[in-house]
Chains A and B, each alone.
Chain A
Amino acid sequence: MTDNKLLEVEHLTMRFGGLVAIDNLSFNANKREITAIIGPNGAGKTTVFNCLTGFYVPTEGRLTLHAEDGPRLLERTEGFRIPRNNGVARTFQNIRLFTGMTVLENLIVAQHNRLMEASAFSIAGLFNLGSYAKAEKEAVEKAKFWLEKVGLYEQADWNAGNLPYGSQRRLEIARAMCTDPSLLCLDEPAAGLNPRESAELNILLQSIRDDQGVGCLLIEHDMSVVMQISDHVVVLDYGKKIADGDPEAVKNDPAVIRAYLGEEEDDELPPEVAADLHLDPKAH
């Protein structure tokens, strides 16, 4: 199984001043699998993503991406180079599309680096040389493929900001996929979707995993999505991993249930506090 590893997170710690957002977190994500990260609000899920995609530099720990041509250390890579050279793409919790640009333009901007090379850093493009025209055509073809995949072909020329919410979510996924990632990080892709749209999203994500062979890392609160499509679930609470395993096992894990549903008072309290409470029940 070791050579099936796509992402290895080892002892990841992220501190903001005195606040420990992620505390010594280790988990793996495999190739061609959907790994879900779940946990209550404020558990540090998005922080993990921000570390993975270069928006934060982790305080401690190692993030290894096992790309086809060998392992890469993400924590040592400059932010924008992570999607460019290492193939980690992401979407955002609050959708970040280029709202004033059309749907198609959004997908072409995602292929910026390849097109930039083809246009010889704009010089070939400026004189409209054939090589660039060909590259642009390929980019449009790729965009078309993803537009059809997410069902937005008809709306290709709309401004992205005018799309309905669910379509914007799907467009953001399509845009991330246009960067040819090996790992796709999805930050709450089902947030704000109705049940039918969630079901469509499930199909899309499964197809990305099975047909494109891309590993997905998924933050999600919608359990119908998480339980149906994920192959592996990691549960975080207060920055710590409290469970790790297949969906069924995680669902029945007492620690997870406690984190989500609360717990009886004295179970987890520090002994001295618990002792105090027992001495003086009226104080409670």
Chain B
Amino acid sequence: MSAALASSRTNGSEVVKELAFFAVIALLMSVMLLGVETVDRPTGLELAVRWDLVLIAIGSTVIGRLGLIFRRESISRLWQAVLITVTAVAVFEMFVRFRELDDRWVSPVVLDMAFGSVVSTILAIAFVVIVFATAYFTMKVQGAVEVDQSKKLSAKIQLTYRSNTKKIGLIGIVFFFIFPLLFGDDRSAIDLATLVMIYIMLGWGLNIVVGLAGLLDLGYVAFYAVGAYSYALLSQNFDLSFWLCLPLAGIFAASFGIILGFPVLRLRGDYLAIVTLGFGEIIRVVLINWYDFTGGPDGISSIERPSFFGLADFSRRVPEGAVSFGDLFGLDYSSMHRLIFLYYLILVLALVTNFVTLRLRKLPIGRAWEALREDEIACRSLGINPTNTKLSAFAIGAMFGGFAGAFFATRQGFISPESFTFLESAVILAIVVLGGMGSQIGVVLAAIVMIGFPEMFRELAEYRMLIFGAGIVAIMLWRPRGLLSFRDPTILLNMSQKEKVAGEIK
């Protein structure tokens, strides 16, 4: 221990300085968030102060920081674990108080909870033991060795993942295909899966523009909106069926992509992002204000639902002359049929997006996109037309956005400009970035994390956004280039994929 101390970089006064700094940070952050609360009193809205929460926040920050310092300097294994456990308990106490208590001063709630009953005592002890054990056994004994091992492990995981991407993808596809068989009765599960699938498709579409061609597009939702409104308007004004409108929606969105592309092609990086952002807003503002055409803020309602490829209808009361889906297959009517059909529809659309992207990547156009992302000047010197290459990326990305939009319109039955705000673009972009630019499986993971988790944990109420934020920060800390940010070569000459990955990891 003394040897560890001797080699440590910090001395006593530096530790005190560091702790004081974090105490101040904790104070600044907690005083407004936790320390004051608005309370509805008969006399009006009043501020109530909750110093206990502020104190706990500062206390837990300081103790936790001390634990981290011990960990960093590899001082005492036992003390590290103790300090981290105390912090965990304090944080828990803070959460319980925040939810349950008014501005009264009471003794620690954790104690009351822990010794309320036998079960709760066991749970509390288990909690403490688990935290303690995790802290104790994950500590650094010898800094360098530990880093080496964790590196080895992550290299191993990377190697396994990257040399089996196809298998993993196939397993994923099979899972999504049998998903309705597993959760077929659970309406909310199918709904959630459909929602996630829409975002996966949008993520894959945007991945062409951002991940492959490297053009930062903050207005992707505009194409989604164009697709949705194309279907809604064509269906309402010309009575065209969903199956006819689906390709049309894609074509319209692609032409909007080209229209946007032309003026912004000469821009790069931040400037391009700003222009695309503006374009997204223009589309939304037009949708709001062109009342005669788009219904303005009222949106378009009772959009026609899709039929079963024009053969059968999913409604309970089938219009005259049409066959109901139940009759066609000899099933009893169930409202789940349509939901499951919609799920499979978006699944197939998303998979088409995926396969087209994967295929394009190995074609000259895909390679040119990636080359353009790497170095535009070199591309020009090789005779690649940067304008057309960028335009094609924009148009194809937009086309898939348009397909997704048409699907969205037919699923919701109602669309309004509200659904196509900048926030949507940001979420889709976040999915692409978090997943790892250019990674198809990464997009799936990120869509599940970004869309699926917040919906699944709705019971956690306001905390879910907190945890969500922490999760995003964690991803950006440990995997700053996205969850799965690996680029696999499109062609190999004398190495297998596995050898290539192994060589890269070394």
Contact = CB atoms under 8 A, between A and B. Distances in A.
Contacts of A81: 383, 385
Contact of B374 (A89, A101, A128): A101
A104 B489 CA distance: 9
Contacts of B494: 153-154, 156-157
A144 interface: yes
A54 B503 CA distance: 39
A98 B382 CA distance: 12
A175 B381 CA distance: 10
A101 B371 contact: yes
Interface string B392-413: 1000000000000000000000
A179 B379 CA distance: 11
B460 interface: no
B380 A96 contact: no
A115 B375 CA distance: 20
A100 interface: yes
A92 B378 contact: yes
B363 A109 contact: no
B368 interface: yes
Contact of A113 (B356, B383, B500): B383
Interface string B339-371: 000000000000000001001100111011011
B382 A83 contact: yes
Given A119-B364, A144-B493, A89 B384 contact: no
Nearest to B392: A122
Contacts of A158: 503
B383 to A, nearest CB: 3
B360 A109 contact: no
Of residues B368, B382, B487, which shows the largest number of chain A Cβ atoms within 10 Å of its Cβ?
Answer: B382
B299 interface: no
Given A126-B359, A144-B493, A109 B380 contact: no
Interface in B254-294: none
Nearest to B380: A80
A57 to B, nearest CB: 14
A179 B383 CA distance: 8
A82 B382 CA distance: 9
Given A98-B375, A105-B367, A157-B489, A122 B360 contact: yes
Interface string A235-263: 00000000000000000000000000000
Place the interface of chain B in its size category: 20 to 34
Contact of B381 (A89, A104, A105, A113): A89
B493 A83 contact: no
Contacts of B384: 80, 109, 112-113
A144 B492 CA distance: 12
B337 to A, nearest CB: 33
Contacts of A112: 364, 367-368, 371, 382-384
Interface residues of A, number: 49
Contacts of B383: 80-85, 112-113, 179
Interface string A175-202: 1100100000000000000000000000
B490 interface: yes
Interface in A66-110: 79-85, 89-90, 92, 96-102, 104-105, 108-110
Contacts of A105: 367, 370, 489-491
Contact of A104 (B374, B375, B382, B492): B492
Contact of B487 (A79, A90, A100, A113): A100
Contacts of A100: 370, 374, 487
Contacts of B503: 158
B47 interface: no
Interface string B471-506: 000000000000000010111111100001001100
A140 interface: yes
B377 interface: yes
Contacts of A109: 364, 367-368, 371, 379, 382, 384
A159 interface: yes
B296 interface: no
A176 B381 CA distance: 8
A128 B487 CA distance: 23
A20 interface: no
A13 interface: no
Nearest to B387: A80
A90 B374 CA distance: 17
Nearest to B384: A112
A151 B356 CA distance: 35
A165 interface: no
Contacts of B363: 115, 119, 122, 125-126, 132
Contacts of B379: 80, 109
Contacts of B385: 80-81, 84
A145 interface: no
A119 B371 CA distance: 18
A155 B201 CA distance: 36
25 contacts: A54-B380, A80-B380, A82-B383, A83-B380, A84-B385, A92-B377, A96-B378, A97-B378, A98-B371, A98-B374, A101-B371, A101-B487, A101-B489, A104-B492, A112-B367, A112-B384, A113-B384, A115-B363, A126-B359, A147-B493, A157-B493, A157-B500, A158-B503, A176-B382, A179-B383
Interface of A: 53-55, 79-85, 89-90, 92, 96-102, 104-105, 108-113, 115-116, 119, 121-122, 125-126, 128, 132, 140, 144, 147, 153-154, 156-159, 175-176, 179
Given A92-B378, A122-B360, 12 more contacts: A89-B381, A96-B377, A98-B370, A101-B367, A101-B487, A102-B489, A102-B491, A119-B363, A119-B365, A125-B364, A126-B363, A179-B382
- Top 3 nearest A-B pairs (CB, nearest first) are A84-B383, A83-B383, A115-B364
